[in-house]
Amino acid sequence: MVDTAIQKFGGLHVAFNNAGVYRSAPFADIMEDTIDDLLNINVKSLAWCFKYQIPAMKDSAGGKGSIIVNTSSTALRPSASPGMTGSGMYAASKAAAELLMKYAAIEGAASGVRVNSVARGLVKTPIFGDMPDETLVAFAGAT
């Protein structure tokens, strides 16, 4: 995707890293595939993006690029909402994404590439599946 952007636009100047998945399971019931999904999509994918985006911005955009990472407000503080029981691993993956972004910002700064995050609150998207609206409202009020 980085090579395509460089070929089409003459350089990579901005990237919005927005991959994310929500999986809910209380710790007593969590399965390895749930943990793997959360870490692979919410964290590992960012590391791969940074690996290619930061050098591309340094080289093709003269170090003037900007990377924005969509994390989550759950990365910053836990939710005590009963409706969000089982969200611990998701929140941990988003906290890892937030910290990974901060280290990418340190590395990117050396070549002038800015890396920031948007830790948004609740937005009703398909990531929440069939979660009842009452649960979403309770969660939004608890975060």
List pLDDT tens digits, range 1-60. 999 999 999 999 999 999 888 888 899 999 999 999 999 999 999 999 999 999 999 987
Number of domains in the chain: 1
The predicted model scores a pTM of 0.81
Q: Hey, which residues are catalytic here?
A: 90
pLDDT of residue 142: 54
pLDDT of residue 139: 61
Contacts of 20 (CB under 8 A, 6+ apart): 41, 42, 70, 72, 94, 127
Which CATH number is 95's domain given?
Answer: 3.40.50.720
Tell me which residue range forms the domain holding 111.
2-142
